[in-house]
Structures are given as structure tokens and as C-alpha cells.
Structure 1
């Protein structure tokens, strides 16, 4: 088993109407758990990686259920701090065809949002670890979390860990100006920057020329330029950008690029019919971490990440419930969906 990966962020209670029903179209809600860094931890655990998820949860039955949900997949929860008043909640309405999905947050005052720097002993947390992953969602929750993320990043670099960050800009949590100020200070510790078509523009004002996300137009040369500007500004070893062409809420084209100091790689593109796209970016990040950690060459690591995320779009819930073998089969070209007997 490879040395461990540590992820840090918020795990939330996810409440969703059945199927494609709208909010409160009937009186039932599916209750599961999810959240950016928790999703990455579960994916990596499914790939056989020793994974530690760090957060703060209330010391009540709901917090305990979230921990049990992580343990089910083999995620190490021993570094989770207990305390605070509540778990964050998000409501998801699944879109279909031309009707977009919707997310409503109810996470203000959650245990992790009200955490203090003294809640986490990063020197102990990182003992025996090789990699640290967080996203832009965590500092966006405010309070002391920007400071806590900075402490985590400094200790990670002190102990020689690789650090990855998915920019994950959330306009419902903070403004572009706040994001640029906070994330700009953290990026100096990051080795692997992960972003989507809009993140670099929303957070750092770096726009892909010739691209119209809402109109479904993506220009590869524009993203090569974005990745180069990000690397030059912050010194990243890798910049990965997911490339989603959104035909409708039900059908997307899905691909990604990976940029290093000397090379640029573009993955194959998948036509994806979506069951659940929430967590798609997280499954990409986990796949990329796994690929780079396990010694794959850069191009293969990118293909593994895109294939893992492609499969996630077929899985209900935040968590990507697929194995390394299933991902490698898709990388090798078996995307027929034929019954495996």
C-alpha cells in the first residue's frame, strides 16, 4: 500500500429529492454524505490508497453517521475533531435536459466553519504522509479556516509532502476578490493545481481566450495559455484543467489537460450521459493524485483521472464507487457498457 494521503475539508449531509423531482415535489429526501475533500478521500481509498480525512464534526448522531459513512470505504477518520453545533447541509436538485441542477447550502455555523487553529495538530496528522490535498471551498467557509489552511500547507511543506489544491470557486460562499486574496497566499505551497474551465478566471482573472463555457465552446490553445500563466505566477509543478462541454444537464463531453514545465497533455474526450455529476471534479482530482503517486507517466495519469471521473458521472451520490480495475478498463478502451458476465 502506498504511503498515506491526507485530505482536509467539510463533509456535509446531502439531501436530494428522489430521481429528477424538484425540491419538495413530494415529501421524500434521500440523505447521504459528501463534500469535496471527503469525496477525494473515498475515491483514493477505493483505489487502495491509505487515506486520512480531517475535519471537525458535531459530537452527535449525525456526526457519527458521517464518520461511519467514511469508515465504510476504509477512510481513516482518527484525526477528525469532534465539537461545534452542527453538520453542514446541502440540498441538491438534479437537473435534466435543459433544466440545470441546483444546489442550496445550509452550512453557516457548521462545526468546521467555526473551527479554531488549535483543533488540528498538523505535525501529528502528517506523520507518515506523502501527499496533502485541499480545495478552495475550505478557506471559503471563513472564520479561521484561511489561517488553518495556511498552517496545514506550511507544515506539509516542512515535512516534504506534495500539496494539491482544487481551486473550486463557489460564488455562493465568497467573492472573486476574497478568493484571489486568500488563495493567492496559499498557492505558493501548492505543487499540483487543479481547476475547471472557469476557476482560473473567477479566482485569478486568468481567462481562456476563444472559450465560451455557456455556449459550449472550448479552445485548447486558450487553456494552454491559462496553465502557463498559472505556473509562471505560482511555480506549480503541474496544472490540470478539466474541460467540460455542457450540451445539456443530461449530456456532456468530458476531457482534461495536464501542463508541466516542459509538456502539455490532452486526454481523450468522453461523451457522458449523466446520472449524477456532483463530485465529478473531485473524482478527477483523486484519479490524478493516484496516477502521479503510483508512478504512472504524466499522460497515463491524466487518462486515468479523466476515466475515473467519466465513470463517476454514472454513479449516484457524491462518492465515486469504482475500482482501479474498472478505471483501467476504460482507459484501455472498454467503454461499451456491455454487461460483464
Structure 2
């Protein structure tokens, strides 16, 4: 089995205590996280050899982020040091009908100002079997978009499987620019992961008879979305997470996987949310784990959805669950009974 590479930005997350609003906060808790870093930590927890690639400032806060990755078993050999700052995001947790809020303070972060020569992709992908990134990374700057394109080209040339979570962020770029940039990058990918909004925002592919604001999702509509994505980009798999948002605290959670021939749908979980940040990343990590571990399509999907379900019960960005815990839930034990 080869190593798994993820590439993106890790940030400092600052959050009020509990469910306090920003305007109430007298103090903020500090943790680290970010889409591809979250995936890396999950895969390391499951026993995979995983490397996170980024650029971090040389100062102590950059070192804190690097140490946090090492603490959970993620290899940091390809992290470049330089630049002036680590990106920050502020997260206010929602409850009931009040949504969560995120404020970014990531302009001019080290990774957003990285240069092509910072990364030797042929060395990085040596003996690798999988490369994962999200649509957040090329959205950080034009240079990051160029570096991401260079990365997928190198990975494809070396026979490395490539997955992308579209992860559209309206605070980072427009739908027009996202579609133009991602349309070129995704040509080199094997697997697309998307949520109920991403395909529409990035590529203009909308699921029929779906209204995400009232929690109404049409499974048949998403099958058509998956078909269009797979055919447009000649993909091996399209995975779609299906979130029914009844409130900020209560979601329905399931997923779909399409392999060009068959559609697979997971069981649905009724989730009372502790922290939903990183939910999609934990799904992506679970899917990658399944597909790189000899699981079939249905089993890989069930593992991914179960892993993500558990993440919603954990504070912070990282999905700090074991392989055994995910497997137990995926196999049907969702009772939550005390383990003695």
C-alpha cells in the first residue's frame, strides 16, 4: 500500500465557549483545522501512512500547527516553512434555528503566497497511491490554483489516484471563477466528492425538486447530478453527501456513490449536532479509507457516512474516532450505549 498525500491550508480556529455568540465572548478556545488537514488526521487515525503538504510560517504559531498534525500521526516531511502568517477563522456555533457563522482572517497566509518552486511534486508523489485536495485550496489565490493544477498533473502522470472535494466557499471566490478554475483541475481527477450545493455552485448542475433551505432533498435528482459529473469529467466515482438541515442542531445525514454503472445509497442517520465543522472532510477520509483498503463500493460508502456521523458529535475540526468505532456504527450499532 502506498502513502496518501493531502494538500491545503491548516488554520487556527478561534471559537467562543459553548454556544456563546461572538459579541458575548470573553475568551476563545483555540484548535487547528482545515479541509485537507482534517482528512489527513482521520486517515492517520485509521492507520494509513498519510502526509499533509502545505506552507507554514517559521514562527511559533506555525510550529503549533505542525506539532498538532504530528500529534495525531500525520507526516509533515513535505511541509515548507516561510511566509508571515497562519490563517485564522472564527467559528460561532449555531443552535436550533440560529445558524453557525464563520469569519475568515486568512488573507496573505503563508500557503496563499506559496510559489510553485516550494513543492517538488515528483518527490512528494513517489510511492504514493492517492492524492486528495479540496476546492478551497485553489480558491486561496491564483498562485494556489496554479500549484494545484501542477500537483494534479504530476499525480496523474505518476499513476496516483486523485480525489477532490468541491467544497465551494462563496467568501473565497465567485461561482464563475470557481467553475472556470475547477473545470480545468477536475479533468485530472478520478473521484469527485460534493454536497447538496457544490455541483450547482461550481458547475451549474442542479438537482431537480430539491430545496436545501427546508431540508427537502430529491435522491433521484442527485443521481442525475452524479451522472452528469461523471460523464463530463470521465471520473471513476462521484460521491454526494446528503444533509437534511432541519435546524442547526438537528440534521439527517446520508450519502450516495456512483461508479458509472450502479448507484449506491447509505443508511440515513438522525444527528443531534455537537459540532458540524469537518463533517464533509470526515466523509471524504472515510471514503478514501474504504477505497484504498479493498472495500467494495457499498461498504466504502457506509464507512464514510458512519465516520462523518460520528464527527458531528466531536468538538473541533478533527474526527478523533478509531477504526473500530466507525466500523461498529457502520455495521449497525448506533445505540450510543456506554462501552464498559
Residues in 1 aligned to 2:10 and 2:259: alpha-carbon distance in whole angstroms = 31
Given the alignment of the two structures, is residue 45 of structure 1 paired with residue 21 of structure 2, yes or no? no
In 1, Cα distance between equivalents of 2:331 and 2:216: 28
| Alignment of structure 1 residues 258-273 onto 2, 5 Å | 258-273=257-272
- Distance in 2, matches of 1:55 and 1:136, equals 15
Distance 1:108 1:43 in 2: 27
Question: Map of 1:68-79 to 2, 5 A cutoff?
Answer: 68-79=67-78
- What secondary structure does 1:200 align onto? helix
Please give the alpha-carbon distance, in whole angstroms, between the structure 2 residues aligned to 1:143 and 1:91.
Answer: 24
Distance in 2 between residues matched to 1:86 and 1:93, nearest whole Å: 22
C-alpha distance in structure 1 between counterparts of 2:97 and 2:214, whole Å: 13
Q: Number of residues paired by the alignment?
A: 340
Equivalent residues of 1:3, 1:49 under 8 A apart: no
Aligned residue for 1:69, secondary structure, equals helix
Q: How far does residue 215 in structure 1 lie from its aligned partner after superposition?
A: 1.1
Aligned to 2:90: 91
For 1:327 and 1:199, locate their aligned partners in 2 and report how far apart those are by CA, in whole Å.
26
Misfit runs of 4+, over 3 Å: none
| Alignment partner, residue 208 of structure 1 | 207
Offset at residue 261 of structure 1 (A): 1.0
The offset of 1:9, in angstroms, is: 0.1
1:179 match: 178
Contact 1:17–1:24 (CA under 8 A) maintained in structure 2: no
- The answer as to 2:20 corresponding to 1:10 is no
Q: Secondary structure at the match of 1:144?
A: helix
- The answer for the alignment partner of 1:298 in structure 2 is 297
Distance 2:185 2:178 in 1: 11
Distance 1:236 1:285 in 2: 16
Partner of 1:56: 55
C-alpha distance in structure 2 between counterparts of 1:146 and 1:60, whole Å: 26
Listed as ranges, the matches of 1:1-341 within 5 Å are: 2-341=1-340
**Structure 1 residue 106: Cα displacement:** 0.2
Mapped to 2, the partners of 1:128 and 1:17 lie a distance apart of 42
Residue 214 of structure 2: SS of its match in structure 1? coil
**Could you tell me how far 1:34 is from its partner in structure 2?**
0.3
Q: Provide the TM-score with structure 2 as the length reference.
A: 0.99
* 1:297 Cα deviation after fit: 0.6
Deviations along 1:259-308, one digit per CA (max 9) or x if unpaired, are 01110000000000000000000000000000000000100000000000
- 1:139-177, CA deviations, whole angstroms, 9 ceiling, x for partnerless residues? 000131111001100110111100000000000000000
Structure 1 position 26, deviation (Å): 3.0
Offset, 1:128: 1.2
Distance of 1:172 and 1:94 partners within structure 2: 18
Q: SS of the residue aligned with 2:61?
A: helix
Cα distance in 2, alignment partners of residues 213 and 26 from structure 1: 31
Shift of 1:3: 1.9
Distance 2:130 2:23 in 1: 41
Alignment partners' CA distance in 1, 2:76 and 2:16: 29
Structure 1 unaligned runs (5+)? Answer: none
- Consecutive unaligned residues of structure 2, counting only runs of 5 or more, are none
* Alpha-carbon distance in structure 2 between the residues aligned to 1:200 and 1:261: 17
**Alpha-carbon separation, structure 1, partners of 2:303 and 2:190:** 19
- CA RMSD in angstroms comes to 0.6
Q: 3-state DSSP class of the match of 1:79? A: coil
- Partner Cα separation in structure 2 for residue 122 and residue 296 of structure 1: 28
